[in-house]
């Protein structure tokens, strides 16, 4: 297998065929309301306990209702992963990789519009943010994972004449618990797929606010030939899922992206139950940070201002890489301030189906209240100044608006 190339990003110019195609998918999906079951052992399970998936930028619009797992269904998912594991890990690496390479091809082709549209409507990403995430980055994850897994397997110990040494890269003993975030469809797809590639079986709990694109991601894996029970997708309340699955005797690993507080709770729970496990669970986690821009006195003002605007406001700042603070030399500040205000005032905010909107809605009411609370605090502070923006409205959606 040759090293893959990064998936090309589409431009979505107004009259492009690709633009018309994704707009058609958006229009159709926006008018639908689907039911999302649990996927356990390849079967669709409906518990009757449901939760709504709404458009963040039009919070009255319900896109889907997903069923939530209780402890019994979570145990069922663990058992399904156990039953699937023997046959799955017995397959050679190339056969397992072929499933995910096929999934990448499906996303690059017939499912590109579907996954982009689901990400746009369900997570309030504009077309350009959705394209680099739901399409390109997930395709790259799947293809590069397969390639580098192949390269890892080539790393073998030295042998001498008459003696052959070999190293087998085995799956973990038990199930992997993948807990995924709302802000990247690609990460949500990669966290269960990467451990599955090397022979593990997975219980996957997507974020409630990413459930629509998670549903289509699972369907793509299924269409690509993923055997029943290899990845079991469950909607669930986070604390209940943690209380049931993290202390489980068969927990072999956790693959997580999310908040620092949640990851610390996961780490603490596993540590306090360490004597109960069949093996030592591997814990892999990525958490949020406070990214910054540090400008030198010689910085190009135009480049700096563009970096600030894009770093801070792309996808409403809901990325671990989003710029949350900027350190600017005093000699540059007057010109930076003037151009920054000028650029920010041009930002359009609103519905994702209007491709001229640079910003859309923040993900949910909790995030909206947290962010607007900071704005109110700055407004009331004696040592802070709002130089541009500072307006918001949740009348239609969770929007930080321009006036």
Backbone angles phi, psi at 200, to 5 degrees: -80, 160
CB crowding 217-233: b at 16 or more within 10 Å, else e: bbbbbbebebbbbbbbb
Catalytic residue among 168, 286, 365, 385: 286
The count of other CB atoms within 10 Å of the CB of residue 367 is 17
Is 286 known to be catalytic? yes
Catalytic residue among 136, 222, 320, 342: 320
Nearest CA-CA partner of 229 in 42, 37, 86: 42
Q: For residue 346, with 0-12 CB atoms within 10 Å meaning exposed, 13-18 middle and 19 or more buried, which class applies?
A: exposed
How many angstroms separate the CA atoms of 286 and 188, rounded? Answer: 12
Is 75 known to be catalytic? no
> Are the CB atoms for 397 and 55 separated by under 8 Å?
yes
For residue 384, how many C-alpha atoms fall within 13 Å in the half-sphere facing its CB? 11
Give the catalytic positions in this structure.
Answer: 286, 320
């Amino acid at each position: 297998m040759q090293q893959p190339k990064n998936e090309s990003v589409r431009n979505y110019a107004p009259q492009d065929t690709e633009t018309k195609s994704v707009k058609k998918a958006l229009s159709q999906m926006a008018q639908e309301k689907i039911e999302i079951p649990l996927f356990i052992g390849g079967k669709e399970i409906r518990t009757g306990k449901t939760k709504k998936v709404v458009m963040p930028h039009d919070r009255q619009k319900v896109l889907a209702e997903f069923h939530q797992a209780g402890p019994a269904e979570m145990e069922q998912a663990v058992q399904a992963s156990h039953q699937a594991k023997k046959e799955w890990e017995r397959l050679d690496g190339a056969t397992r990789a072929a499933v995910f390479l096929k999934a990448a091809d499906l996303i690059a082709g017939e499912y590109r519009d579907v996954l982009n549209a689901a990400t746009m409507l369900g997570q309030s990403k504009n077309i350009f943010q959705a394209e680099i995430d739901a399409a390109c980055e997930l395709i790259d994850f799947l293809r590069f994972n397969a390639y580098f897994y192949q390269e890892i397997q080539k790393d073998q110990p030295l042998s001498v004449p008459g003696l052959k040494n070999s190293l087998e890269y085995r799956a973990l003993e038990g199930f992997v618990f993948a807990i995924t975030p709302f802000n990247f469809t690609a990460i949500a797809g990669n966290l269960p797929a990467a451990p599955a590639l090397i022979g593990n079986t997975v219980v996957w709990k997507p974020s409630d606010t990413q459930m629509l694109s998670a549903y289509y991601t699972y369907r793509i894996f299924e269409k690509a030939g993923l055997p029943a029970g290899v990845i079991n997708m469950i909607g669930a309340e986070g604390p209940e899922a943690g209380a049931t699955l993290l202390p489980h005797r068969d927990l072999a690993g956790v693959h997580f992206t999310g908040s620092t507080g949640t990851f610390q709770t996961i780490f603490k729970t596993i540590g306090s139950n360490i004597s109960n496990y069949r093996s030592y669970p591997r814990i892999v986690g990525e958490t949020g940070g406070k990214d910054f821009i540090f400008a030198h006195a010689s910085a190009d003002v135009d480049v700096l201002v563009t970096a600030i605007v894009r770093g801070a406001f792309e996808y409403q700042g809901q990325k671990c890489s989003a710029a949350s603070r900027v350190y600017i030399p005093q000699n540059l500040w007057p010109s930076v301030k003037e151009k920054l205000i000028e650029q920010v005032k041009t930002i359009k905010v609103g519905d994702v189906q209007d491709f001229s909107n640079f910003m859309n809605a923040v993900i949910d009411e909790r995030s909206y209240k947290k962010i607007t609370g900071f704005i109110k605090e700055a407004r009331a502070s004696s040592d802070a100044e709002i130089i541009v923006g500072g307006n918001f409205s949740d009348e239609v959606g969770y929007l930080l608006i321009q006036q």
